[in-house]
């Protein structure tokens, strides 16, 4: 320690750490939190905040404006607050844009800037690393799926337009939460699966969008131009996930054509896509060199 007048410079030097080391759970939490901050551009340059914050703003703004009109102008004549809460989940195209941005940011950057090797030299393993990334990406997506829908449900409830009785309210809430959780997880898996092939972020985003377009357009062409039947629409993963969410919430189909498909087929389609995308991630990471 050196002193000059009243000022003192404290040189602590190297200190041994005698405390208890936190386990893998803490490593997952820390990695997930670090990734989430990165996804929303926190602690990064302003340009990294623009897109995620804009998506976040838009999705909440739609609901906030509806609620404001009803609460401040005292009318629901215009049809406000009469939809299912599930209808307030951001449209598929917005969600896929968000997933195409956040998933590459979560894992592709780690490949590019060497963090993946460093993470693998810590108590994290490949499965726990992926768990941390999933927690972060799915959590971020959940913020724009569940958040606006919950806000809408609360608005309806306050205005007396919500489910009848506490039991029905909690059932609606539970279904909404479960649907948003599963759809967020699905979008996360879809985003990660199609962005883990490369270490270029822009390319990864394009691949995710192409995977969406590449399944969406053919599914509609095949449906409209052939007699294969409505089940062919299930090759469109994102619409299938949305339809699965709607079925879980007992809500109307967002896309009418899906309403004729049986719930068991929608469920089968949803989980088949979820397993397929998870398998891609598992395969890629199993063969990925740690160092």
CB of 49 to another protein, least distance (A): 12
* Residue 84 beta carbon to another protein: minimum distance, rounded to whole angstroms: 41
Q: Which residues are at the interface with another protein (CB under 8 A)?
A: 11-17, 19, 21-24, 26-27, 30-31, 34, 43-45, 109, 112-115, 117-125, 128, 290-291
Please say which residue, 33 or 271, places its beta carbon nearer to another protein.
Answer: 33
Q: Which is nearer to another protein, 24 or 94 (CB)?
A: 24
Compare residues 12 and 77 and give the one whose CB is closer to another protein. 12
Q: Which is nearer to another protein, 43 or 214 (CB)?
A: 43
Cα distances from 152 to residues 83, 95, 139, 144, 259, in angstroms, run: 9, 18, 19, 13, 24
Residue from 90, 77, 134, 105 nearest 245 by CA: 90
Indicate the residue among 61 and 118 with the shorter CB distance to another protein: 118
The least CB distance from residue 82 to another protein, in Å, is 46
Question: Whole-number minimum distance, CB 195 to another protein, in Å?
Answer: 18
């Amino acid at each position: 320690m050196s002193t000059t007048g009243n000022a003192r410079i404290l040189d602590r030097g190297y200190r041994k750490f005698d405390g208890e080391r936190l386990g893998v759970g803490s490593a997952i939490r820390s990695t997930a939190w670090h990734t989430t901050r990165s996804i929303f551009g926190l602690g990064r340059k302003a340009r990294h905040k623009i897109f995620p914050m804009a998506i976040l703003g838009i999705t909440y703004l739609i609901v906030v404006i509806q609620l404001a009109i009803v609460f401040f102008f005292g009318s629901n004549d215009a049809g406000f607050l009469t939809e299912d809460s599930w209808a307030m989940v951001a449209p598929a195209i917005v969600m896929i844009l968000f997933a195409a941005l956040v998933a590459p940011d979560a894992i592709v950057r780690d490949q590019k800037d060497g963090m993946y090797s460093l993470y693998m030299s810590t108590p994290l393993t490949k499965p726990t690393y992926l768990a941390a990334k999933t927690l972060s990406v799915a959590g971020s997506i959940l913020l724009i799926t569940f958040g606006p829908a919950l806000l809408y449900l609360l608005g309806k409830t306050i205005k007396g337009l919500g489910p009848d009785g506490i039991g029905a309210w909690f059932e609606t809430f539970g279904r909404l939460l479960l649907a948003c959780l599963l759809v967020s997880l699905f979008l996360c898996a879809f985003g990660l699966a199609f962005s883990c092939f490369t270490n270029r972020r822009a390319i990864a985003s394009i691949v995710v969008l192409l995977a969406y377009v590449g399944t969406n357009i053919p599914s509609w062409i095949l449906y409209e131009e052939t007699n294969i039947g409505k089940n062919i629409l299930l090759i469109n993963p994102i619409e299938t996930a949305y339809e699965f969410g709607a079925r879980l919430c007992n809500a109307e189909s967002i896309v009418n054509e899906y309403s004729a498909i049986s719930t068991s087929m929608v469920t089968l389609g949803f989980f088949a896509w979820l397993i397929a995308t998870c398998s891609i991630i598992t395969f890629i990471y199993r063969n990925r060199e740690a160092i």
